[in-house]
């Protein structure tokens, strides 16, 4: 599979081959959905907590006698039936939302999403993508010259380039990430994927492990 290669001016300067075993894979939407749900679940912190009747302060004394008052019987004003009482079946912080994803499934799904970007023309391959001066204006000008101008973009860098990361972090709808750290959720949350030629090699190395 071949795609166009762009320079910093947004001009096509040639084509490059994409590894077919990563960028030309048959897409299985149900598998992608399954992995995406698992990754969303793994992001949940599980810190929400509602107090039960045993955790709410007060309510140690029976509000009135069991019999003889003509009213319904109650043992505590901190019952879930009372205002200010405990919560029945509320969320508790002990709950664990973590789900495991088999390594092979994770790689396969990542390859499917990348293939989908490539087939739909949403994968852009620049010759290189970096900031020389670490200026936001510099990166913004490069993005405006590429076909993804004005759209949300995920920039997969081959290495941790501090200048480029700092220059791109103030640009709306643009996020940088190392190619080896790509996840299915990262790719699904952005319309375009910008992947320099060196990043393709990094992706290849990741899938060989």
| 106 and 148 part of one domain | yes
Show which of 96, 124, 158 is a domain's final residue: 96
Q: Among 106, 128, 114, which residue's Cα sits nearest to residue 209?
A: 106
Q: Tens digits of per-residue pLDDT, 160-199?
A: 888 899 989 989 889 999 998 999 999 999 999 999 988 9
| 81 and 173 part of one domain | no
Q: Tens digits of per-residue pLDDT, 76-100?
A: 999 999 999 999 999 988 888 899 9
Please report, for residues 93, 183, 189, the alpha-carbon distance to residue 204 in angstroms, rounded to integers and kept in the order given. 40, 15, 22
Provide the number of structural domains found in the chain.
2
What is the CATH number for 131?
Answer: 3.40.1370.10
Q: Tens digits of per-residue pLDDT, 21-54?
A: 888 889 999 999 999 999 999 998 888 999 999 9
| 17 and 106 part of one domain | yes
Give the model's pLDDT for residue 208: 65
Show which of 96, 114, 132 is a domain's final residue: 96
pLDDT at 202 over 90: no
| 145 and 59 part of one domain | no
| 113 and 27 part of one domain | yes
Q: Among 174, 177, 159, 143, which residue's Cα sits nearest to residue 6?
A: 143
| 150 and 85 part of one domain | no
| 102 and 177 part of one domain | yes
- Find the domain containing 90 and state its range: 46-96
φ, ψ of residue 76 in degrees (nearest 5): -160, 145
Contacts of 89 (CB under 8 A, 6+ apart): none
| 31 and 58 part of one domain | no
Show which of 63, 96, 129 is a domain's final residue: 96
pLDDT at 209 over 70: no
| 39 and 57 part of one domain | no
Q: Tens digits of per-residue pLDDT, 126-159?
A: 998 888 888 999 999 999 999 988 899 999 999 8
Sign of CA dihedral 204, 152, 113, 180: positive
| 108 and 190 part of one domain | yes
Give the model's pLDDT for residue 1: 76
- pTM of the predicted protein model: 0.79
Give the model's pLDDT for residue 81: 93
| 153 and 202 part of one domain | yes
| 164 and 77 part of one domain | no
């Amino acid at each position: 599979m071949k795609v166009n290669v762009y320079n910093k001016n947004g001009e096509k300067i040639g084509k490059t081959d994409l590894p077919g075993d990563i960028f030309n894979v048959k897409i299985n939407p149900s598998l992608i959905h399954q992995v995406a749900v698992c990754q969303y679940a793994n992001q949940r912190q599980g810190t929400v907590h509602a107090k039960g009747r045993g955790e709410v302060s007060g309510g140690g004394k029976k509000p009135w006698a069991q019999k003889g008052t003509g009213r319904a019987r109650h043992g505590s004003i901190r019952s879930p039936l009372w205002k200010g009482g405990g919560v029945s079946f509320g969320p508790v912080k002990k709950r664990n939302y973590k789900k495991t994803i088999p390594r092979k499934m994770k790689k396969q799904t990542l390859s499917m999403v990348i293939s989908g970007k490539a087939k739909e023309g949403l994968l852009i391959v620049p010759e290189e993508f970096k900031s020389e001066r670490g200026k936001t204006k510099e990166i913004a000008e490069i993005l405006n010259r590429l076909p993804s101008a004005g759209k949300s973009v995920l920039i997969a860098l081959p290495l941790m380039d501090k200048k480029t990361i700092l220059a791109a972090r103030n640009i709306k709808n643009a996020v940088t990430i190392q190619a080896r750290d790509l996840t299915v959720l990262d790719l699904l949350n952005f319309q375009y994927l910008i992947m320099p030629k060196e990043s393709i090699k990094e992706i290849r190395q990741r899938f060989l492990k």
